[in-house]
Amino acid sequence: MTSMSRRGAVREYVGGALWVLPTIAVVVSLVAGAVLAQFEVEADSGFGRLLFQGDAGAARELLIVVSATMITVTGLVFSLTVVSLQISSTQFSPRLLRSFLRDRGTQVVLSVFVSTFAYATAGLYTVGRLDGGQPYVPRIAISGSLLLALGSVAAFVWYLHHLAHSIQIDDVMRRIEKTTLHVVDRSMGDRPSDEEPPPDPPTDATAVMAPTSGYVQAAFPDAVTAPAAASRAVVHYCRAVGDHVVAGSPIAQVWADDGAIDEASAARLALTGIRIGFERTFEQDHAFGVRQLVDIALRAMSPAINDPYTAVQSIQHITVVLCAALPHHPGTRLWHDDAGTARVVLPMPNLAELLDLACGQLRRVAAHEPHVVAALLNMLDEIRRRTSSSHDHADIEREVDLLHADAQRAILQPADLASLLEGPGRSS
């Protein structure tokens, strides 16, 4: 695993870990409390009049109230977070749980509460210690606990507002669309479509097997190109980002310009440029966003929910994502050395695969609902108008034919069917 791959894995883990930011906040609050407790201010000074004015007993009571309240509120916030996770899993898609855990607002609010609790609890250790025969009251530190308590109240009110909006279906789909568009720009970039066909592996190519089972989370072809060129080798990956692999199954074919390459060198080259994990992530997997939006549409069309309008909304968000991916020429990519020789071949979902992902399951589940079929046809028509490739048009026409065939079989009302067959979706 390259340093780039390690950094990406750490970044993904830290971003989705609910404990990291609160832990940092607790450490910072303890350090801040220890530092502030060392400062003394004259009670009759201008600044001193703004600080806590009670004695040691009042200070301890205040800290006890703050710490007890914060641990209660933290439990309430955690319970509300679990409820939101349950709603997202049952109503939208189980693959949305990671997105909710990565929600920065929830992490910040939890950090505010646990840091306030830690600050107030640790303050009990310093309040009341004898300093020259007098009980010591760190007025600045005690005033800090008051400010943190007031800030926690504001954070709690904001969290209720944030939670109410975060589980709204429109907001959920908007976040998925925004994240997926970011992944499209980051992972596909401005790299043009490769006109040259990828080289076919020779019969004596060395197969590299997956070291573990899981999903291909990220690929780093740039990190493989230079070593492959130095070894005069070609690395042809046969799994795309987002694909599931089983330990011991081939993930790449490697060969040298002058023939075969030993297994150790082939494995070192191929495994340098790929990372396998137990779950799909948004790091480079733009198809994962389409998958989540399709999940929402499928769940909306289930007999228990039966909400065609939500399915239509989901298709509209999918349309935005696919139209954004189209200028990047989805499909297999080649990476060349300085001499122009292809050194790395990395498969990526092409337009036909993305269209099948967007339309396939929905077409089979919702072919009886004219509004959903019309939304899919509108999506295909929008994509067709944005490409001049005859190959892309053929892929789109195939999906249109399948939609029309399933609609003719499932829709019983002739008027509904006629409006679909005469509407968008046909180039003729």
Q: What integer pLDDT is reported at residue 4 of this predicted model?
A: 56
Q: Are 221 and 270 in contact (CB under 8 A)?
A: no
Calpha distance 119→4 (Å, rounded): 37
Q: What integer pLDDT is reported at residue 132 of this predicted model?
A: 56
Q: What integer pLDDT is reported at residue 238 of this predicted model?
A: 94
Bigger pLDDT: 396 or 328?
Answer: 396
Q: What integer pLDDT is reported at residue 336 of this predicted model?
A: 92
- Lowest mean pLDDT across 125-134, 151-160, 259-268, 271-280: 125-134
Tell me: the pLDDT tens digits for 57-71?
A: 888 899 999 999 999
Calpha distance 119→31 (Å, rounded): 9
Burial of 206 (0-12, 13-18, 19+ CB in 10 A): buried
Q: What integer pLDDT is reported at residue 223 of this predicted model?
A: 92
- Lowest mean pLDDT across 24-28, 140-144, 246-250: 140-144
Mean pLDDT (whole number) for 225-233: 93
Mean pLDDT (whole number) for 382-411: 94
Closest listed residue to residue 176, CA positions, set 104, 81, 241, 93: 93
Mean pLDDT of the chain: 88
E strand residue ranges, 220-375: 233-237, 244-245, 250-256, 274-277, 333-336, 342-346
Residue 52 has pLDDT above 80, yes or no: no
Q: What integer pLDDT is reported at residue 426 of this predicted model?
A: 46
Helix runs in 192-275, H state only? 221-230, 263-272
Q: What integer pLDDT is reported at residue 141 of this predicted model?
A: 86
Q: What integer pLDDT is reported at residue 428 of this predicted model?
A: 38
Tell me: the pLDDT tens digits for 176-220?
A: 999 999 999 887 765 555 567 888 899 889 999 999 999 999 999
Q: What integer pLDDT is reported at residue 264 of this predicted model?
A: 92
Q: What integer pLDDT is reported at residue 138 of this predicted model?
A: 82
% of the chain beyond a pLDDT of 90: 59
Tell me: the pLDDT tens digits for 19-49?
A: 899 999 999 999 998 888 887 776 666 566 6
Calpha distance 211→276 (Å, rounded): 9
Q: Are 220 and 274 in contact (CB under 8 A)?
A: yes
E strand residue ranges, 5-97: none
Calpha distance 331→303 (Å, rounded): 36
Residue 171: pLDDT band with limits 50, 70, 90: very high
Q: What integer pLDDT is reported at residue 234 of this predicted model?
A: 95
Residue 2 has pLDDT above 60, yes or no: no
319 Cα distance to chain centroid:
19
313 Cα distance to chain centroid:
20
- Lowest mean pLDDT across 170-179, 186-195, 230-239, 264-273: 186-195
Bigger pLDDT: 96 or 263?
Answer: 263
β 250-256/233-237 pair status: antiparallel
Residue 260 Cα distances to 89, 137, 206, 248, angstroms: 48, 77, 7, 20
